[in-house]
Structure 1
């Protein structure tokens, strides 16, 4: 398969596929004319990487997951630990986003949104982050 074929079948853009090759996540063969020649195993790896990235795994985590995917003697405990760590980071981000949302929702509801210059949103954004005023 050429890069267009594997891009279509994997759902990844050719630019992403080239990037994954550049950083060593995949290693397609080369045909006699020098073009990339992707096999079914490359397609499976690309689909695997696409799903892992869609779940928010970093490139380095994807590298580890891909190594584990290819290791027939892997321990599922290692995979689970990696996924649990990632899940904990997602939960942290969700908590941060919920806090941001609550703060912004409060500010939006406190703003009259009229022709006056008073605006609690601007006031909050412009306040001194150091409550002691020292900084």
Structure 2
């Protein structure tokens, strides 16, 4: 099948399929005489696996590890368990960060009644003050994690 058919079958955009190929997550397909990519059912299976991992917000490195385990049936599944435990920890940290962010936004919103001039707006005055570092972000930095809000290995 051609790339468009693979995209339609898996619900994955053509550009993303090409990206996964460049990144080595999806094996290069065979080429036809006209140099078109030719995919088979193994590509459908692997792309579906990758898409499922991405729906769980896994990074490319996590997906590579899981694909490696999938390709070696004799491998110890303890590695998969450890990977999921670590991923779960990252999710829990992100949830804590988001809860902290929500509280900060609620506190900020409470500084303004919504009436009056912007010159007297408590939100704007508060935003003029230097931001205090978040405790959760500091703990991530100490643990060697770089946190960029809303980003966890996209694509």
Using the size of structure 2 for normalisation, the TM-score is 0.79
1:106 corresponding residue in structure 2: 107
Deviates more, 1:5-14 or 1:118-127: 118-127
2:31 corresponding residue in structure 1: 30
Q: Which runs of 4+ in 1 moved over 6 A?
A: none
Alignment of 1:111-130 (within 5 A): 111-116=112-117, 117-129=119-131
Using the size of structure 1 for normalisation, the TM-score is 0.89
Kindly indicate whether the alpha-carbon contact (under 8 Å) linking 1:11 and 1:47 is maintained by their aligned counterparts in 2. Answer: no
RMSD over aligned Cα atoms = 1.3
2:90 corresponding residue in structure 1: 89
How many residue pairs align between the two structures? 130
Q: Distance in 2 between matches of 1:124 and 1:77?
A: 49
Q: Distance in 1 between matches of 2:11 and 2:131?
A: 45
Task: Note the C-alpha offset of 1:2.
Answer: 0.7
Q: Distance in 2 between matches of 1:99 and 1:63?
A: 32
Q: Distance in 1 between matches of 2:74 and 2:123?
A: 56
Structure with the larger RCO, 1 or 2 (CA within 8 Å, 6+ apart): 2
Task: Note the C-alpha offset of 1:59.
Answer: 1.1
Any idea what SS the aligned residue of 1:110 has? coil
2:11 corresponding residue in structure 1: 11
Deviates more, 1:29-38 or 1:87-96: 29-38
Q: Distance in 2 between matches of 1:129 and 1:96?
A: 15
Q: Distance in 2 between matches of 1:21 and 1:39?
A: 14
Task: Note the C-alpha offset of 1:66.
Answer: 1.1
Structure 1 gap segments, 5+ residues each: 131-135
Q: Distance in 1 between matches of 2:128 and 2:44?
A: 51
Task: Note the C-alpha offset of 1:129.
Answer: 4.0
2:55 corresponding residue in structure 1: 54
Structure 2 gap segments, 5+ residues each: 133-155
Task: Note the C-alpha offset of 1:119.
Answer: 2.2
